Chain A
């Protein structure tokens, strides 16, 4: 089976190194671990790979309480106990109380699926260790029914992490790794083109300039990311803001309009306003 090389889609711009990482992971059948600043499209990557290769996507969103076992299956002992006390006939068959998890579903898929394990660092520190065998051999054992579940097609696995916890070495050994950098101006221009094909050139240039200027403000708690830029542009287009309003050099209106879309934190907004105020005083 030969797959075409992932090179981004009509909605997603993949840099060369990212598409290389994806094709390496797909070809060699290794899980791909993706890290990067929030808002750089880590989660979206799995959707786009699935869309590009026309494969079904199984998403497993990990929370702080998620156990590795839940991705495989869960044994619903409580309802079995209730059924037994009510005298339900279903209780004889233990398989009735085995709930399939996302990994199981992906393993039984008819065609090779894409499996997204989102924000793996949110879970307990042992979580990745509990998945080693499953990721390696693509099989697991259901103790309650004594059956071995094996993947029909080795899924393309994409794992995202926000770096909140260190991942164990044994787990990292089995993955390929890519760190999505914050896009530079050229890449950003391509990304915006993909999302807003009809945006005016001047507006985009001014908006990007203002955006990177805000990102450069020292001491921001949360720097605006790509997704915030896209939201902001959407607002600018909806409000029909003229490019001139974004220009910083006229000395008067240095606060970009609708900046609430870029700065999500009260302290950041405050800091930014102060800087602008100081800048205006010195400019006078």
Chain B
């Protein structure tokens, strides 16, 4: 039973090894968990999970495994309820009489079954009311509402204090690094970027090491060198602006400018939807001050890392055909220009704020990924990590 639990943890990407399994058995043998599920939940988390990023996934696996509802895992990973449905808009105020009127639906299994059904039926966001999933309603699903047997989805503090199980509360949700960048996540992402900027370096004189080595040599000078801490990393940032991308772009710009002191050069350019023959640097004057792409290609050397940020969501012809751009007539196709960029800057990556699950469904993302040799990464701390690894490759 435990082996299956462990392999389920591994399937969701939590790095659990035999060492942890043995430690777990040792702990159980030591009688620390004294046979209560709650204690077991905490103990197993302490022993098996080594990073708070995985707490949320652990909660989900635990719930799926130990309440015997195996389908819950597929349900939650496949049909994730969008965050914004659940964002709190109103707080439902109920009198005790009203509370008494609300019936519980039945056991946990029944509730989960019904939730699955409803996830299938429901197409849009919902708020209030007695049936659909959403916020501030009286349906057993969703958050900030009241139903004594409710299943909470995406709520960060328990309001009515009658949550079913601690692992179902999913309090560590915003620590998961596969989520998009939020304020707390931003800090983690920043640290990753800093590390990216500092890796691989020139040597400088290590004064302490030299003194020490010289002393050990009984006075013979022995020079020691060490890698320089501050690296001279050059980054060329291309940002997609206009429409739905603006929020993400602001976030990305903040992120990179916060890490700016770590880069020797950070140049940014804007484009709309896809890269063509001109880009611009100042959004207010995007029509007056266009910079020819050729000039960009000429100006910067191949030691620059190229990072493109955009949702790559458009008609595929905008990439593939000359004249495909929605804003102007382009003599050469977007793919030609992208090929020139990636040839000029062989270390490149594309960051995409769209959730990775959705990429398969958008044809233009598929096209762009092909052109990028698969180097497209989600705009999450985890995605940034993968992108920086590619950018650092020699």
- Mark A269-282 against chain B: 1 for CB-CB distance below 8 A, else 0: 00000000000000
The answer to the question of A165 belonging to the interface, with a C-beta cut-off of 8 Å to chain B, is yes
A177 touches B50 (CB 8 A): yes
Bound complex: CA A178 to CA B45 (Å): 8
B51 touches A177 (CB 8 A): yes
A20 touches B215 (CB 8 A): no
Please give the distance in Å from A227's CB to the nearest CB on chain B: 19
- Mark B365-393 against chain A: 1 for CB-CB distance below 8 A, else 0: 00000000000000000000000000000
B17 touches A173 (CB 8 A): yes
Bound complex: CA A2 to CA B55 (Å): 31
Please give the distance in Å from B237's CB to the nearest CB on chain A: 24
- Mark A24-56 against chain B: 1 for CB-CB distance below 8 A, else 0: 110110100101000000000000000000000
For the complex, would chain B's binding face be called helix, strand, loop or mixed by DSSP majority?
helix
B24-32, B304-312, B322-330: which lies at the interface: B24-32
A75-83, A102-110, A189-197, A233-241: which lies at the interface: A75-83
Please give the distance in Å from B224's CB to the nearest CB on chain A: 13
Interface size on B, residues (CB 8 A): 36
Bound complex: CA A164 to CA B191 (Å): 7
CB contacts under 8 Å to B, within A169-189, are 169, 172-179, 181, 184
Bound complex: CA A255 to CA B30 (Å): 52
B50 touches A184 (CB 8 A): no
**Which residues from B are CB-within-8-Å of A123?**
none
The answer to the question of A163 belonging to the interface, with a C-beta cut-off of 8 Å to chain B, is yes
The interface centre, meaning the residue of A28, A169, A174 with most chain B CB atoms within 10 A of its CB, is A28
- Name A residues whose Cβ lies closer than 8 Å to a Cβ of B: 16-17, 20-21, 23-25, 27-28, 30, 33, 35, 77-78, 80-81, 84, 163-165, 169, 172-179, 181, 184, 218-219
- Name B residues whose Cβ lies closer than 8 Å to a Cβ of A: 15, 17, 19-20, 23, 26-27, 30, 32-33, 38-39, 42-43, 45-47, 49-52, 55, 157, 171-172, 175, 183, 188, 191, 195, 211-212, 215-216, 218-219
Having A27-B27, A184-B157, one finds 16 other A-B pairs with CB under 8 Å, namely: A17-B46, A21-B42, A24-B46, A30-B23, A33-B50, A77-B212, A77-B216, A80-B215, A173-B20, A176-B23, A176-B47, A177-B49, A177-B51, A179-B175, A181-B172, A218-B183
Cross-chain pairs A/B with CB under 8 angstroms, 8 sampled: A16-B38, A17-B46, A24-B47, A28-B26, A77-B215, A78-B215, A84-B218, A177-B50
A-B residue pairs, 10 tightest by C-beta = A179-B52, A77-B215, A172-B50, A17-B42, A21-B46, A81-B215, A20-B42, A177-B50, A173-B19, A78-B215
